[in-house]
Amino acid sequence: MIFVTVGTHEDPFDRLVEALDQLKGNGAIRQDVFMQTGYSRYEPVHCEFKKFLPFEEMTQRMAAAEIVITHGGTGSIMLVLYHGKVPLVMPRRAEYKEHVDDHQVMFCKTMELRSKVVAVYDTDQLEHVLSGYHEQVRRITGDAVVGSQEDGENKMRKNAGLFAGKLHGICKELLKL
């Protein structure tokens, strides 16, 4: 199962929701897809969806998913990492009026450089990136098979804590400028 979350930001993220729904509809995606669509105006035809989910349901769906696709929000990315998974991330972009600026793009590029996410920046790349997702995860993790969920969660908790500390330090330095 593929789980998709666009977060709770008030701007729609129709570009991602519609592209994934079309890929499911044309058979490019064979797995079941469940989407949390937030304020998106486009309503999926080929995928199950809810606009918003209680946190518990979101984490259950995320934990059960084979692949988690998320927007570039820090909280959503970190939650996927916490569950021991490598998120496929498509950041919201200001040019499409999906956010006020491109901070998600910058954060996504940073996480990609640190081998924490599989990134896709445009919908025309989505099918290709999805088809190579497992190979990219193997390259990122160095594992042919990811360990148990508990091992992954413990490792990701530790890494998320380290990352949060480093990010806090970077933010403090940037605020001094």
Query: Which CATH number does the domain housing residue 41 bear?
Result: 3.40.50.2000
- Going by pLDDT thresholds of 50, 70 and 90, the confidence category of residue 141 is confident
Burial class (CB in 10 A: 0-12, 13-18, 19+), 170: exposed
**Average pLDDT of span 12-34:** 98
Burial class (CB in 10 A: 0-12, 13-18, 19+), 10: exposed
Q: Average model confidence (pLDDT) for the chain?
A: 90
Query: What range defines the domain where residue 172 resides?
Result: 2-176
pLDDT at 103 over 90: yes
Q: Residue 142, Cβ neighbours under 10 Å: how many?
A: 7
pLDDT of residue 165: 72
**Average pLDDT of span 27-35:** 97
The total number of structural domains in the chain stands at 1
Q: Residue 163, Cβ neighbours under 10 Å: how many?
A: 18
Question: For residues 151 and 14, which has the higher predicted lDDT (pLDDT)?
Answer: 14
pLDDT at 17 over 50: yes
pLDDT of residue 174: 76
**Rounded Cα gap, residues 101 and 30, in angstroms:** 34
Question: For residues 137 and 177, which has the higher predicted lDDT (pLDDT)?
Answer: 137
Taking phi over 0 as left and psi of -120 to 50 as alpha, with beta for the rest, 99 belongs to: beta
pLDDT at 149 over 70: no
Burial class (CB in 10 A: 0-12, 13-18, 19+), 69: buried
Residue appearing with tokens 């696709």? 69
pLDDT of residue 124: 96
pLDDT at 56 over 90: yes
pLDDT at 91 over 50: yes
Chain centre to alpha carbon of residue 87: 5
